[in-house]
Chains A and B, each alone.
Chain A
Amino acid sequence: MALQQIRIGRALAYVAALAISAFILAPIYLITISAFSTFDAIYEYPRQLVPRDVSTDTMRLFLNSDGIVDSLRRSAIVAAITIVVCLAIGTPAGYAIARFSFRGGDPFQLALVSTRAFPLIIIAVPLAVTYLRVGIDDTVYGVAMAHIAFTLPLTVLVTASVFAGISYELEEAAMTLGCNRFSAFRRVALPLALPGVAASAIFIFVTSWNEVFAAAILTFRNRTLPAQLLAALDASPLPHRLAGGFFLLAPALVVIFFIRKYLLTTWGRVAR
């Protein structure tokens, strides 16, 4: 009886897991097959759920259209800069918040969160004006800077809580075994924080890769992919839009797939 209940419980859990997976995967799947279908197949009704003939026509059309490859490259550069700078500043800052008690530590954390409370729309015009004045408008660095400003506070807070969960005694042990403060951090605390840092990296990447508003107002000719698509897709045919959706989606999945390795580092424990 009890065993049966457990079995039913497990079955329900699987059903729920499958339902959630399907909910997330269905649009990804539909966009992907559409992106690789012929024009005719896309306009066909009812839709073909299994692609009959794979074609790169749509993709070719999309990639050959103006500025797409360039904007893709710019998006990648912006995301890379954002991740590198955010982690380079955010990880040590999070470590400092977790390990040292310093005057103003709590207000500092509060201030970090409050930066996210500013609606971008309100600062959009002053921001654009400032960019024009400084001369970093319409550059990848300018967009990256805006993205860093969005993601850095949360990076600091996330890594702070990750480091707070790592026993300081481990670093002390490393210090008695010949490390200085920094090498104890690098050899012990940082590797142990890697899953949390990887989660931050994914968050930073996704935020930067999908961010469209700041990118749209801060650039004009040198647009990132979302900004470019936003400008171009309105006037594009359906196949073009689907290909654009696929292109926004695929790199994100690839990046997440690679970072995932660190996210699930378990050192001997069985990964669940």
Chain B
Amino acid sequence: MADIRFVGVHKSFGDFAAVDGVDLEVKDGEFMVLLGPSGCGKTTLLRCLAGLERVDDGRVYIGDRDATDLPPRRRRIAMVFQSYAVFPHMKVYDNIAFGLKMQKEKKPVIEERVRSSAELLHIEELLDRYSSQLSGGQRQRVAVARAMATKAEVLLMDEPLSNLDALLRLEMRAELKTLLQSLDATTIYVTHDQIEALSMGDRIAVMNKGRIVQLGNPLEVYDNPADTFVGGFIGTPPMNFLEAEVSDNGRSRIVKVSGGSFEFPGDVAALAGHDLLLGIRAEAIGVETAAADGLVRAKVIVLEPLGSHNLVTVRCGEDTLKVSIQADIFPQPESDVWLRLEPARIRWMDRETGTAIHTGAEELATETAVVIS
């Protein structure tokens, strides 16, 4: 049993507050991703959990133990470092065995665990090599095998895939996820790559400026961002944001953006008194070739065919939007298109604070999600 709790954790370096009041609970066996841009405090938070940094304030609990003042070796954690930190002066075998030797395991036990860890990561043939004789991907596997060999209850990963090339990263992502599903360990995974976060995590904690700005499962975080930062950080392309005004004349409600206006069917009471930003994902915008009611006119700037779909950049009034459309439609630059901003997929944000305003009209992907098991 090893659930993890951060309670009011603060950590500063000089005047810079790297972690600025984080409360977070991670359930036993959960795969939690800490996601954020560089400098957001995600790695510092992880290092506070590992015991490599002392927290300035707050507590860290691992299982039922207060781990705040424990040294790393007493926390029953294992960590995979961004640089892999494979010991250059030891062979792969001794690298993987290192933690077990420190735990004073018996020789046959060490041998057995090293073999099984190496097998899981397909590096059995490399046990006699030194780190300098390995490729980046192989080193990464050694680092993971070394962390797994100790059978720690908590597995910490600090951007483990960021030093691999794109193809290898894709491969390792799925492999790592499969591997971690088969373990009971609670995993905390730090990354700045939102695709990694979406594709691997049970839940994602999005961090910015030392705080957790949103905590939720990948679909929630993608579909219903808590603020403009999350909407802009997650997703390729990022969420579109347009300045908008909503007027309610009693009979109908009209949304006005710089490129035109359209009717909004939902309740807008919650929006009153806010300067508004309209947020909408690229794939929630429909593209029509002729004018009609509820459509907004736009001019195509550039078309990027991506194989699986086409990405179109359009100019709509004063706003520039990214729209993703079917792969077999090719709107040419300079041509006019008409956009349908799907009302149920619109997310309202306050222009000043950037935080989401919920109207109750949102159709949430989590409600309609189909789980096949």
Query: Residues of A with Cβ closer than 8 Å to B?
Result: 167, 169-170, 172-180, 183, 188, 191-192, 265-269
> Could you tell me the distance in whole angstroms from the C-beta of B125 to the nearest C-beta in chain A?
15
A176 to B130, alpha carbons, bound, how many Å?
Answer: 21
Does B146 touch A at the CB level, under 8 Å? yes
- 19 pairs, A vs B, C-beta closer than 8 Å: A169-B81, A169-B83, A172-B79, A172-B85, A173-B87, A174-B98, A175-B51, A176-B51, A176-B72, A176-B156, A177-B146, A178-B73, A180-B71, A180-B73, A188-B87, A188-B89, A191-B89, A265-B89, A268-B133
> Could you tell me the distance in whole angstroms from the C-beta of A189 to the nearest C-beta in chain B?
10
Q: A167-B83, A169-B85, A192-B89 are in contact. Are A176 and B50 (CB under 8 A)?
A: yes
How many A-B residue pairs have C-beta atoms within 8 angstroms? Tell me. 72
> Could you tell me the distance in whole angstroms from the C-beta of B155 to the nearest C-beta in chain A?
11
- Is B88 a contact of A267 with CB atoms below 8 Å? yes
- Is A173 a contact of B132 with CB atoms below 8 Å? no
Which of chain B's residues 79-111 have a Cβ closer than 8 Å to chain A?
Answer: 79, 81, 83, 85, 87-90, 98-99, 102-103
Q: A169-B85, A192-B89, A267-B89 are in contact. Are A176 and B132 (CB under 8 A)?
A: no
A269 to B134, alpha carbons, bound, how many Å?
Answer: 11
A176 to B115, alpha carbons, bound, how many Å?
Answer: 21
* Chain A residues within an 8 Å CB radius of B131: 267-268
6 closest A-B pairs by CB? A268-B130, A178-B102, A177-B99, A173-B85, A175-B72, A176-B79
- Is B78 a contact of A177 with CB atoms below 8 Å? yes
> Could you tell me the distance in whole angstroms from the C-beta of A11 to the nearest C-beta in chain B?
30
A269 to B156, alpha carbons, bound, how many Å?
Answer: 30
Partner of B73, one of A169, A179, A266: A179
* Chain B residues within an 8 Å CB radius of A267: 88-90, 130-132
A107 to B77, alpha carbons, bound, how many Å?
Answer: 39
Interface mask (B125-160 → A, CB under 8 Å = 1, otherwise 0):
000011111000000000000100010000010000
Query: Which one of B78, B85, B131 has the greatest number of beta carbons of chain A within 10 Å?
Result: B85
Does B364 touch A at the CB level, under 8 Å? no
Does B195 touch A at the CB level, under 8 Å? no
Known: A167-B85, A169-B85, A179-B73. 5 other contacts (CB 8 A): A172-B79, A173-B79, A177-B146, A267-B89, A268-B133
- Is A176 a contact of B89 with CB atoms below 8 Å? no
> Could you tell me the distance in whole angstroms from the C-beta of B144 to the nearest C-beta in chain A?
12
- Is B146 a contact of A268 with CB atoms below 8 Å? no
- Is B88 a contact of A192 with CB atoms below 8 Å? yes
> Could you tell me the distance in whole angstroms from the C-beta of A185 to the nearest C-beta in chain B?
13
Does B170 touch A at the CB level, under 8 Å? no
- Is B98 a contact of A177 with CB atoms below 8 Å? yes
* Chain B residues within an 8 Å CB radius of A173: 79, 81, 85, 87
Across the interface, name the chain A residue whose C-beta is closest to B77: A176
